[in-house]
Structure 1
Amino acid sequence: MRRVFTTVTAHAVQDGPQSREFVVLDILADEDSPSQQDLAHRLGINRTIMVRLLDRLQETGYVVRTRNPANRRTYVLSLTEAGRSALDGMRHAVAARDARLTGALTEPERQRLTALLTKVVADDGPSAIHSIEHLIAQAHYRLRRLGDHRLAAHGLRTRHFALLPALDRLGPCPQEQLARYLHLTEPAAASLIEELVKAGIVSRGQDPHDRRRYALQLTDLGRARIPAVREALDSMEHDLDDILGPDGAQELRTLLTKLLS
């Protein structure tokens, strides 16, 4: 899921618009939303993120907040004419990205992928999301939150999943090698490594092959955390099985893998 999510977001950043902006405008084009909380729930977006997102859309003149007469503590969200005009252009861009992203799939496979991702994102009811790009992002966020919850007691997050086993396998290695191994950009790898160094899980030693650079390795604490990481990863696999059933979960993995082919 992480590699697919990385590919999707890279294309979105390069091409614009961002999927979250699009889905908010898209759903408001059909009807006003009675509150920010309602919209956040329908789209599976964190409430804090939704507030920031709506602030940006209001600043650009695409969305307007109006005090809800039925509940003065909330605001009705409406799409402006400028927002409708912008949405028309966004639809073409998002549709083009979705088509490019799912180019390796047949139409029945695209429909099945949409259905599976929708269930992961909102297994308690129908989803208002129509963009595969956004569904992949939201599925990634949901699984990441589940993993974060399980790893919190160990001072780790799901973004650290791959690093600990990789360093355990590679042994002392330079940051560039680790980034290549994990298909990460060097800035992304550097940020994650810095978090783990501060937590005492990774140490920077001198590279015996090149004294001008550091070699990264797990500390004793880092090696002790590997079983917890593997247990959390297994639990996330079980979470996916619980949501989709074992056959559905395997089908989702197969379809996502095909996207990367």
Structure 2
Amino acid sequence: MTSEDMTPPGSDRGLLGYTGHLMKRAFLHVHAHGADAMPIGRHPREIGVLLLLIHAGPLSQARVGALLDISRTDMVKVVDGLETPGYVVRERDPADRRRYALRATEAGERACEELRAAADEAERAAFACLSADERARLVPILLDLIPDLRDALPAELLARTGFLIARCHHRLRRRGEQRLASRGLRPRHFGLLTALASAEPCSQQRLAGLMGVSGPAIIQSIDELERAGVIRRDRNPDDRREHLLLITPDGRRRHREARDDMDDFQRELVIEIGAERIAELNRLLLALIPSEAPTPQRRTP
């Protein structure tokens, strides 16, 4: 496979040099396959929770959320969804009788077998575009980005490439948010501005295509940036029913500053795991995105 010579159709080349953006695109691809493969009423997160409890439980709900990078609000929903059919139970934590711990039941272990099969099917479909050798090279690089989890999670979870991509995506997104916090922007705002800068004036639908997402997925970011005076909407002179998006002068300044921050973040990743491994990671992530055009421009640290 010559995925390094491929660019997702319609994608903005300015974003494809950022590992965080590629990881997000790969995550969306993998998550879509996972959601499609799950039995009706089940969620991909549930297999992670069950596997963790089966291999390392009982564990407190807070500990499970921390290890799997699931927010407190989402953990409540996940646990409720597993507790109702009797897949997990809450028991007194033997290490601290004032607290409760979660334990997978026998019914939960049986349900996990069904979820395992669904997850295996999802991974086969999601990673069909990678050879066995490419997938074998991808896993250790992903683990390099989350080294603290090597000894904290069961081997069965760490062997699931889709799970690793999800964990890396959430980790990189948080780090990107920390970089941009002082600018009043988030990584999704930066991605939108970078794509828009290469194509303005353009419609919301075209902008979403450049970012590799659906039109409704960027409505919130557009509204936030418009309220902040970073972008504006103008009527399309050729079609008054349509609005075109443009970056304001202040938006250009803030985008330049954010780009400097994200370039620094990309250089930081290179320092952490090496230029060759980042280049290989970007190539493999790019291969997961449907592609049919020539090589993206890569950012040189």
For 1:81-92, what aligned pairs fall within 5 Å after superposition? 81-92=106-117
For residue 72 of structure 1, what is the aligned residue in structure 2?
97
Of 24, 31, 34, 1:9 maps to 31
Letter in 2 for 1:86: A
In structure 2, C-alpha distance between the alignment counterparts of 1:183 and 1:32, rounded to whole Å: 38
Q: Which moved more, 1:170-179 or 1:151-160?
A: 170-179
Pairs aligned (count): 261
Letter in 2 for 1:8: V
Of 277, 282, 292, 1:253 maps to 282
Where structure 1 has 5 or more consecutive residues not aligned to the other structure, the ranges are none
> 1:46 Cα deviation (Å)?
4.2
Mapped pair 1:204 → 2:233: yes
Letter in 1 for 2:248: T
Letter in 1 for 2:84: E
Mapped pair 1:184 → 2:213: yes
For residue 299 of structure 2, what is the aligned residue in structure 1?
none
Q: Which moved more, 1:86-95 or 1:207-216?
A: 207-216
In structure 2, C-alpha distance between the alignment counterparts of 1:111 and 1:135, rounded to whole Å: 13
Where structure 2 has 5 or more consecutive residues not aligned to the other structure, the ranges are 1-22, 292-301
Q: Which moved more, 1:194-203 or 1:14-23?
A: 14-23
Letter in 1 for 2:86: G
In structure 1, C-alpha distance between the alignment counterparts of 2:116 and 2:255, rounded to whole Å: 44
In structure 1, C-alpha distance between the alignment counterparts of 2:220 and 2:285, rounded to whole Å: 27
Mapped pair 1:225 → 2:254: yes
Larger RCO (CA under 8 A, 6+ residues apart): 2
> 1:51 Cα deviation (Å)?
4.0
Q: Which moved more, 1:181-190 or 1:140-149?
A: 181-190
In structure 1, C-alpha distance between the alignment counterparts of 2:231 and 2:85, rounded to whole Å: 43
Flag the 1:40–1:189 CA change in 2: closer, same or farther, 3 A: closer
The structure with the greater share of residues assigned to helix is: 1
CA RMSD of aligned residues (A): 2.1
In structure 2, C-alpha distance between the alignment counterparts of 1:192 and 1:217, rounded to whole Å: 14
For residue 139 of structure 2, what is the aligned residue in structure 1?
114
Letter in 1 for 2:97: R
Flag the 1:65–1:235 CA change in 2: closer, same or farther, 3 A: farther
**Could you state the TM-score of these two structures normalised by the residue count of structure 2?**
0.79
In structure 2, C-alpha distance between the alignment counterparts of 1:26 and 1:236, rounded to whole Å: 33
In structure 1, C-alpha distance between the alignment counterparts of 2:272 and 2:69, rounded to whole Å: 15
Mapped pair 1:56 → 2:85: no
In structure 2, C-alpha distance between the alignment counterparts of 1:124 and 1:32, rounded to whole Å: 16
**C-alpha contact (below 8 Å) 1:151/1:229 kept by paired residues:** yes
Q: Which moved more, 1:209-218 or 1:127-136?
A: 127-136
Flag the 1:18–1:232 CA change in 2: closer, same or farther, 3 A: farther
> 1:148 Cα deviation (Å)?
0.6
**Could you state the TM-score of these two structures normalised by the residue count of structure 1?**
0.90
Of 127, 130, 136, 1:102 maps to 127
Letter in 2 for 1:2: K
Letter in 2 for 1:155: G
